[in-house]
Structure 1
Amino acid sequence: MGSPQRRGEDVVTRTPFTGEPLAIVRQSTTADVATAYADARAAQPAWAARPPRERARVVRRFARALLDRQAEILDLVQLETGKARTYAHEEVLDAALVSLYYARRAPRLLRPRHRRGALPLLTRVTEVRHPIGTVAVITPWNYPLALAVSDIVPALLAGNAVVHKPDTQTARTAAWARDLLVACGLPEAVWQQVLGEPAAIGEALLDGADHISLTGSSAAGRTVAARAGQRLVGCSLELGGKNALLVRADADLDRAAQAAVRACFASAGQLCLSIERIIVDDTVHDAFLARFLPLVRALHTGPGLSFGPELGSLTLPRTMDATRRHVTDALARGATLLTGGRPRPELGPLFHEPTVLTGVTPDMDVYREETFGPVVSVYAVSGDDAAVALANDTRYGLNAAVFSRDVRAAERLARRLHAGTVNINEGYAAAYASHDAPMGGMKASGLGRRHGTGGLLAYTEAQTIATQRLLRLDPPPWLGQARHAWLLTAAVRAMHALRLH
């Protein structure tokens, strides 16, 4: 596994399907983190000196290898996360596609660009992009392959080295991805991995970085942002969500119900983009539920390293605890259980039924807190204004969806939602899988964006080099200040008339 194999305490991870031991994972110490940074910094200049096209060739080989060796990584992702194979496969496709996207565009995005100068023809300006240096990338357990690749690949393509801290539960998936990229030509020292809890190595990890990328909770994001602010280094944060799906009165209800099942229960709801609130126009509320609930009840839940089960296990006991707490609290305070609501211990220790609630009110935990489990609340509202107000009644702003036959009306409504991505007639994948577009959150859902041009350039420092020729911008001694000011004013007027500035 490379750099994670350092001296530290051993942690036994368990497969969520059965609770049986899966791997012994050695934790890093603060000294290990310091060594990882030292090794990464030593290797980074040579990697950055390679032409961007050469770095891109390594990543293209990696994308092809991901697809060729997907059977082994599908098993590993499932064993570590407990998710259904369909969603493990979704990770493989996303990792391959985002790698190809950046490999094809990085050489163009990183080349020097000529910019318009202060005085046309007389001021030559070039924008140059430099790597930041060494980037800390902190990734969670829920999408251990896709989220690691989405941030690490553009950081590497930009010429940086990476010190990566994956979650201990999914350390083997992260190590597999790193080993594969090294086999495809990445210098081994350029991608370092360390493991450990924030209380043990968090400060050392954050304080060693030239830029920090985190996918995690809003609480963790605040800690990272504060530390980055103290050091005046950049950070990119994708955090939590309490995402809403709006069903307008004119929606195709069959399509909306089918899409909502996937949007709510992908990876057992353990997805930052998962829909946790369905807001339905009251004129079609009952008709929507008549279509949605049978589909939820028909979901095939269970373990297995094959395609078949549609809903897998939760990954961690604390996620099961939060799911049970939200359901119990809601029912105790008067919510109505429409389906589900119970753990399924006969399937495995962390299986929970897909659960649909109604009658949820602001005094319930599930109203405002992110569940991150297979639980969704359904609300009836009267009209678009009420739907928008309820959708925006959250401190989060990551993802949303709107279902309507009137696409233009849906797009107008989407612009009123306080969410970084909004999907029309789809739950989450249309926006997320559009790698040319920025992906990220508003409000407490994050800072910065992954994907798109910005997802690569965020890992660079922009430098402007301006060369002034002939006409000076300061008054020459023989001209005098007043005549120089007149000359510059005349030049600005001419540029304005000729539309040169």
Structure 2
Amino acid sequence: MITDDIPRSAPARGSGLPPSLTPALLARLTARVTAAADAAKVTTNAPYTGAPLADLPVSTPADVDDAFARARAAQVGWAAVPVRERKKILLRFHDLVLERQDEVLDLMQAESGKTRRDAFLEVTDIAITARYYARNAARLLSPKRRRGAIPLLTRTAELRHPKGVVAIVSPWNYPLSMAAGDALPALMAGNAVVQKPDTQTAGTALWALDLMREAGLPPGVWQMVVGRGSSIGGALMDNADYMMFTGSTATGRQIARDAGERLIGSSLELGGKNAMLVLDDADIDRAVDGAIAACFPSAGQLCVSVERLYVADAVHDRFVAEFAARTGKLRMGAAYDYSQDVGSLTNPAQLETVTAHVDDAVAKGATVLAGGRARPDLGPLFYEPTILTDVTPDMTLYENETFGPVVSIYRFSDVDEAIARANATSYGLNASVWTRNGVRGRAVAARLRAGTVNVNEAFAAAWGSIDAPMGGMGDSGLGRRHGADGILKYTEPQTVAHQRIQGFNPPTGVSHETWAVVLTSALKVLKAIGSR
């Protein structure tokens, strides 16, 4: 069954840039790029229309070196700023983001083509992130008393020092969440940051930098460079004290190799081929709503979105029919308001990939239940939200990430089979389980090989639980963002142990043999009294 009733929303309101994106604003943002005065320029285009959007100066490797030199100089003073003062800056930034959200919502939509509702989720995410690290950094970074080697005689503390200058490479699909969300904890930990946002959505990242400067961040502490990874990626790696990267698994592997060669740390959020399991006792209406939210936000261009849907036999037919019907009624179009359900893809490469994956599957026998075609009548990069069945291992999208509004549905007969099939991937980023029984859902979730698993939610529950770590297993990456891990990874732990009165060497006049007997007896007593 191919549904042909996806609403055709006229792109009138999205045909030009919104009034908030004035030439003065764009000029102010692009001036934040670290580049020579006579730098070459690159023009970005608005996905809704293909029209030119902004001219960005292109940074060279020498510009990157210069950014790091200035960042190192600024970082010394920034690290000396008390955490309570850094906290005030983040909380002012929090308020500015919420107050000026319409401006950044327009900018995100113009640069990425996503709907306003998807863009707004990034605003809420960054407000939560800023508040969390502002309010918790002092606790997480403060010196911690640790058990000493000899009770009462060894005073041991764990200290946390900033890494220095952190390099962040952030992607185009979530330009505010991924850019500011990784920079804020690095800055709060006392580091400087040199960041390379994706060129297409650099304006949104520069907007966050601009607001942080307005909130009180000193000059030089957070800088941005613009350019291809093939041109300036090496300079970023050569200068960094730590590397934070979000992007493809192939590039992530290379970064991990390069970071290992330099003996610096790295955190990598990479690809995903995420699964959603609809168990036989699921609330079908809620599960259908969940599947819509799991598969089609930001036109499916989301690392934690669902591309594989496993549905129990008992509810399969009803679920699939309702899911296909709901998908066919989603409102799709370009509008700088909250009227649309699905927006545009961001760049021609993604449209090409989505088209190729769907066409390959159909040519090899897959059935299209909804969508399955581009929509040039709405804009150059629109592609309908698409549901496929009868997908087999010989099809490209069976195990490869599509990163678009495409999901494949598979039937299963028992939970063990569903778990095995969900885990049959090299990726392990996110998963979703739907059931009326919370205990059962959590038990299934614990058996799934994914860094985050949501019960009766697509991805927002785990992502929004910012006190908990978020990241991937296997080919989905290394390290974690959010929670304590999200800030402590940007620090160097240091142990300071102060030994008082007596250490491990025997006192004057006591032989080593006698001292060994004394220590042996002491160790036995410590074990007997339950000492840790």
Q: TM-score range by the shorter chain?
A: over 0.9
Which amino acid in structure 2 is aligned with residue 412 of structure 1? A
DSSP 3-state at the match of 1:500 = coil
Q: Which runs of 5+ in 1 are unaligned?
A: none
Instruction: Return the alpha-carbon distance in structure 1 between the equivalents of residues 508 and 135 of structure 2.
Output: 52
Deviation digits for residues 225-282 of structure 1, max 9, x if unmatched?
A: 0100000000000011000000000110110001110110000000000100100011
Q: Map 1:180-191; keep pairs closer than 5 Å.
A: 180-191=211-222
Deviation digits for residues 439-494 of structure 1, max 9, x if unmatched?
A: 00000000000000111100000000001112221234521111111111111122
* Equivalent in the alignment of 1:256: 287
* Equivalent in the alignment of 1:439: 470
* Equivalent in the alignment of 2:19: none
* Equivalent in the alignment of 2:44: 13
- Give the Å deviation of 1:20: 0.4
Instruction: Return the alpha-carbon distance in structure 1 between the equivalents of residues 77 and 396 of structure 2.
Output: 51
2:362 pairs with 1:297: no
TM, length-normalised to structure 2:
0.93
Deviation digits for residues 374-407 of structure 1, max 9, x if unmatched?
A: 0000000111011011101111000000001111
Which amino acid in structure 2 is aligned with residue 474 of structure 1? N
* Equivalent in the alignment of 1:124: 155
* Equivalent in the alignment of 2:32: 2
Q: Map 1:67-146; keep pairs closer than 5 Å.
A: 67-146=98-177
Instruction: Return the alpha-carbon distance in structure 2 between the equivalents of residues 478 and 200 of structure 1.
Output: 67
* Equivalent in the alignment of 1:395: 426
Instruction: Return the alpha-carbon distance in structure 1 between the equivalents of residues 464 and 528 of structure 2.
Output: 44
* Equivalent in the alignment of 1:215: 246
- Give the Å deviation of 1:9: 2.1
Instruction: Return the alpha-carbon distance in structure 2 between the equivalents of residues 107 and 400 of structure 1.
Output: 33
Instruction: Return the alpha-carbon distance in structure 2 between the equivalents of residues 50 and 474 of structure 1.
Output: 41
DSSP 3-state at the match of 2:310 = strand
- Provide runs of 4+ in structure 1 moved above 6 Å: none
Deviation digits for residues 130-165 of structure 1, max 9, x if unmatched?
A: 000000000000000011121100000000000000
Give the alignment partner of residue 199 of structure 2, picking from 168, 187, 191. 168
Instruction: Return the alpha-carbon distance in structure 1 between the equivalents of residues 386 and 163 of structure 2.
Output: 45
Give the alignment partner of residue 229 of structure 1, picking from 254, 260, 263. 260
Which amino acid in structure 2 is aligned with residue 133 of structure 1? G
- Give the Å deviation of 1:499: 2.2
Which amino acid in structure 1 is aligned with residue 108 of structure 2? V
Q: Map 1:332-411; keep pairs closer than 5 Å.
A: 332-411=363-442
Contact 1:131 1:459 in 2 (8 A): yes
Please identify, of 360-369 and 6-15, the stretch whose mean Cα deviation from structure 2 is larger.
6-15
2:185 pairs with 1:154: yes
Instruction: Return the alpha-carbon distance in structure 1 between the equivalents of residues 249 and 505 of structure 2.
Output: 50
* Equivalent in the alignment of 1:201: 232
Instruction: Return the alpha-carbon distance in structure 1 between the equivalents of residues 427 and 505 of structure 2.
Output: 50
Contact 2:35 2:60 in 1 (8 A): no
Q: How well do the aligned residues superpose, as a CA RMSD in angstroms?
A: 0.9
Which amino acid in structure 2 is aligned with residue 310 of structure 1? D
Instruction: Return the alpha-carbon distance in structure 2 between the equivalents of residues 192 and 352 of structure 1.
Output: 35
Which amino acid in structure 2 is aligned with residue 484 of structure 1? W
2:45 pairs with 1:26: no
Matched positions, count: 501
Contact 1:257 1:288 in 2 (8 A): yes
Instruction: Return the alpha-carbon distance in structure 2 between the equivalents of residues 109 and 406 of structure 1.
Output: 35
Deviation digits for residues 169-222 of structure 1, max 9, x if unmatched?
A: 011111111010000000120001001111111111111100000011101110
Instruction: Return the alpha-carbon distance in structure 2 between the equivalents of residues 128 and 157 of structure 1.
Output: 15
Instruction: Return the alpha-carbon distance in structure 1 between the equivalents of residues 399 and 457 of structure 2.
Output: 23
Give the alignment partner of residue 512 of structure 2, picking from 476, 481, 484. 481
Which amino acid in structure 1 is aligned with residue 396 of structure 2? D
Contact 1:10 1:25 in 2 (8 A): yes
Deviation digits for residues 423-451 of structure 1, max 9, x if unmatched?
A: 00000000000000000000000000000
Instruction: Return the alpha-carbon distance in structure 2 between the equivalents of residues 5 and 71 of structure 1.
Output: 28
DSSP 3-state at the match of 1:188 = coil
Give the alignment partner of residue 358 of structure 2, picking from 306, 314, 327. 327
* Equivalent in the alignment of 2:311: 280
Instruction: Return the alpha-carbon distance in structure 2 between the equivalents of residues 389 and 472 of structure 1.
Output: 54
Instruction: Return the alpha-carbon distance in structure 2 between the equivalents of residues 2 and 290 of structure 1.
Output: 50
Contact 1:151 1:450 in 2 (8 A): yes
- Give the Å deviation of 1:5: 4.2
Instruction: Return the alpha-carbon distance in structure 1 between the equivalents of residues 339 and 437 of structure 2.
Output: 35
DSSP 3-state at the match of 1:284 = helix
Instruction: Return the alpha-carbon distance in structure 2 between the equivalents of residues 220 and 93 of structure 1.
Output: 29
Give the alignment partner of residue 451 of structure 1, picking from 476, 482, 487. 482
2:94 pairs with 1:63: yes
- Give the Å deviation of 1:3: 3.9
- Give the Å deviation of 1:38: 0.2
TM, length-normalised to structure 1:
0.99
Contact 2:33 2:226 in 1 (8 A): no
Which amino acid in structure 2 is aligned with residue 409 of structure 1? R
Which amino acid in structure 2 is aligned with residue 330 of structure 1? A
Deviation digits for residues 15-55 of structure 1, max 9, x if unmatched?
A: 00000000111110000000000000000010000111111
Instruction: Return the alpha-carbon distance in structure 1 between the equivalents of residues 39 and 232 of structure 2.
Output: 11
Instruction: Return the alpha-carbon distance in structure 2 between the equivalents of residues 313 and 460 of structure 1.
Output: 39
Please identify, of 339-348 and 288-297, the stretch whose mean Cα deviation from structure 2 is larger.
288-297
